[in-house]
Structure 1
Amino acid sequence: MKIIFVLAFAMVLSVMNSTMFNVALPALRADFHLSSSQVSWVVTSYIIIYAIGSVTYGKLADRYKLKNLLTFGLCLFAIGSVLGFISSSFWMVIAGRILQSAGASVIPASSMVIPIRYVSAEKRGRALGITSSGMALGTAIGPIVAGLITSFADWRYLFAISLLSLVTIPFFRKYLDKDQTHPSRIDLLGGILLAAAVTLLLLAITNTSWLLGLLTIVVLVALVLYIRKARQPFLDPAIFRNRAYTITMIIACLVLIFNLCVPYLIPQLLSSVNGLTSFTTGLVMFPGALIAALFGIIGGRIADSKGNSFLLAIAFSLQLLTYVLISLFTGGSYLMIMLLLVIGNTGLTFAQVGLANTVSRTLTGPQVGVGMGMYMMLSFISGAIGTTILGLILDQAHTGWSPSVLLSSQPSVFSMIFLVFAIWILIMFAGSFRFLQRGEQK
Structure 2
Amino acid sequence: MPAACNTKSDLRPVLMACCLAMLAVGDNSTAIMAALPEMRAGLQLGPAEVEWVVNAYLLTAAIFIIVGGGAADQLGAQRSSVAGIALFALASLIIALAPAGFVVVGARALQGLGAAFAVAGTLAAVTEAAPDARRAEAIGAWTGFLMLGFSIGPLIGGAVTHYAGWRFIFWLNVVAMVPAALMLLRHPGAEGRRSVSMDWVGLGILAVFMVTLITGLQALAHVRVNPQAAIVPLALAVISFLGLIRTETRRSYPLVDFELFSNRNFAVAAGLLFLVMFDIMTLLLYYNLFAQSAGGLGMSAVAAGLSLLPLSVALFAFARTAPSIGIRIGVRRMLTAGSLLLALGCAIIWSSFQIEAIYTVLMPGLFIAGAGIALIYASAPRLGLATLPQSQTGKGSGLLNSCSFLGGTVGVTFGGIVFALSGFSGVLVLLGVSALASAVLCLRLRAD
Residues 288-297 or 306-315, more deviating:
306-315
Alignment partner, residue 235 of structure 1? 256
Q: Give how far 1:281 is off.
A: 1.6
Change (3 A) 1:144 1:57: same
Give the Cα–Cα distance (whole angstroms) in 2 for the partners of residues 418 and 38 of structure 1. Answer: 22
Change (3 A) 1:105 1:430: closer
Structure 1 portions without partners, runs of 5+: 399-412
Q: Could you give the per-residue CA deviations for residues 308-340 of structure 1, whole angstroms, max 9, x where no partner exists?
A: 335324423533442343344433132421232
Q: Give how far 1:40 is off.
A: 4.9
Counterpart of 1:354 (choices 379, 396, 399) is: 379
Q: Give how far 1:219 is off.
A: 1.9
Counterpart of 1:194 (choices 201, 206, 217) is: 206
Counterpart of 2:368 (choices 324, 343, 368) is: 343
**1:318 is the counterpart of 2:341:** yes
Alignment partner, residue 410 of structure 1? none
Give the Cα–Cα distance (whole angstroms) in 2 for the partners of residues 314 and 267 of structure 1. Answer: 27
Alignment partner, residue 214 of structure 1? 235
Q: Give how far 1:207 is off.
A: 3.8
Counterpart of 1:395 (choices 407, 414, 420) is: 420
Change (3 A) 1:16 1:74: same
Change (3 A) 1:432 1:97: closer
Counterpart of 2:274 (choices 239, 253, 256) is: 253
Q: Give how far 1:345 is off.
A: 0.7
Q: Could you give the per-residue CA deviations for residues 54-111 of structure 1, whole angstroms, max 9, x where no partner exists?
A: 2221233343422111011111222223333444555544443333222122244357
- Percent identity between matched residues is 22
Alignment partner, residue 168 of structure 1? 180
The answer to whether the 8 Å contact 1:205/1:384 transfers is no
TM-score norm. by structure 1 comes to 0.79
Give the Cα–Cα distance (whole angstroms) in 2 for the partners of residues 165 and 71 of structure 1. Answer: 9
Match of 1:61, SS? Answer: helix
Give the Cα–Cα distance (whole angstroms) in 2 for the partners of residues 423 and 87 of structure 1. Answer: 38
Change (3 A) 1:105 1:23: same
**1:309 is the counterpart of 2:332:** yes
The answer to whether the 8 Å contact 1:144/1:279 transfers is yes
Match of 1:376, SS? Answer: helix
Change (3 A) 1:188 1:34: same
Q: Give how far 1:120 is off.
A: 10
Amino acid at match of 1:213: L
Change (3 A) 1:253 1:116: farther
Give the Cα–Cα distance (whole angstroms) in 1 for the partners of residues 117 and 43 of structure 2. Answer: 30
Alignment partner, residue 286 of structure 1? 309
Alignment partner, residue 53 of structure 1? 64
Q: Give how far 1:49 is off.
A: 1.5
Match of 1:83, SS? Answer: helix
How do 1:71-220 and structure 2 match up within 5 A?
A: 71-88=82-99, 90-110=101-121, 130-153=141-164, 155-163=166-174, 164-169=176-181, 172=184, 177=189, 181-208=193-220, 209-220=230-241
Instruction: Provide the alpha-carbon RMSD of the alignment.
Output: 3.7
The answer to whether the 8 Å contact 1:125/1:353 transfers is no
Structure 2 portions without partners, runs of 5+: 1-10, 221-229
Q: Give how far 1:289 is off.
A: 0.6
Q: Give how far 1:51 is off.
A: 1.8
Change (3 A) 1:419 1:44: closer
Amino acid at match of 1:311: M
TM-score norm. by structure 2 comes to 0.79
Give the Cα–Cα distance (whole angstroms) in 2 for the partners of residues 355 and 307 of structure 1. Answer: 13
Residues 224-233 or 336-345, more deviating:
224-233
Q: Give how far 1:286 is off.
A: 2.2
Match of 1:388, SS? Answer: helix
Alignment partner, residue 370 of structure 1? 395
The answer to whether the 8 Å contact 2:337/2:372 transfers is yes
Give the Cα–Cα distance (whole angstroms) in 2 for the partners of residues 324 and 203 of structure 1. Answer: 30
